Amino acid sequence: MRLRALAKINLGLDVVGKRDDGYHEVRMIMQTIQMYDVLEIEKKKEPGIVLTTNIPYVPTDERNLVYKAAKMLMDEFDIKEGLTMNLEKFIPVAAGMAGGSSDAAAAFVGVNRLFIYKTKVCPLAKVMRRELMKRAVKVGADVPYCVMRGTALAEGIGEKLTRLPRVPHCYVLVGKPGVNVSTKTAYENLKLDDPAVVHPDIDGMVTAVRNGDLDGMISRMGNVFEPGIISKYPVIQEIKDLMESNGARKAMMSGSGPTVFGIFDDKEKMDRAAAVLRESRLAKTVFATDVF
């Protein structure tokens, strides 16, 4: 089986407080895009999981979310057969695009289809997905969304999901500079009590998406992490400025960064901006695509 693990961007990201357990309460508009890793999985008679990947520094044991997700389902349903998995990474690592979470979601879906579907989990697709999402949150807060895909409002620690209509048609240019930012770093640089922090209008974005209003959605986009991360990595602002000066309706950092994405309403403008961005060498990864 060969599965696509789609990257996501955050069209809006707000942090509304910190919980007693140390986690933060968030409100986000999540969107998958046509940029993806590829997970190939195959049954084997011998028990156990074998995971390989094209990135040398990516772990291939239980530290990898793909391995962890597959093992969780196989242990729960007492699957005696083994599994061979190969993960081809194209989504940049530590980029704010949920690459690891999406890979784990693909593992949940793949193991379910190979071993469990129509046997122990309800065969109705919507119920099947809901059952997987319940388990997925144990691997990571973004994993349930990566099982769901599409456009969604995410609340709580990211696991409370409300499906939204697909965003109005647009094109997405992705640019990741040659730096990595951990989620831990993003939260350490977030000052919620700073009056300079601008909280995006998530409710307004939800209304705009439901109304098919691209202008209304774009005008409300924002990421509460941006000021703290840009102060450490000014190249993020340079990429944003370059995209917007070359036709992007809005350019913004995704997730905890450092990836920047630009929203375009015209493919030719996006392609020209991609060429300029590549020539600038501000971004190590440049990818032009659309929403999923």
Residues with a catalytic annotation lie at 8, 142
Contact indicator for 92, 285 with CB cutoff of 8 Å: yes
91: closest CA among 254, 275, 263, 274? 254
Q: Rounded to whole angstroms, how far apart are CA atoms 280 and 220?
A: 28
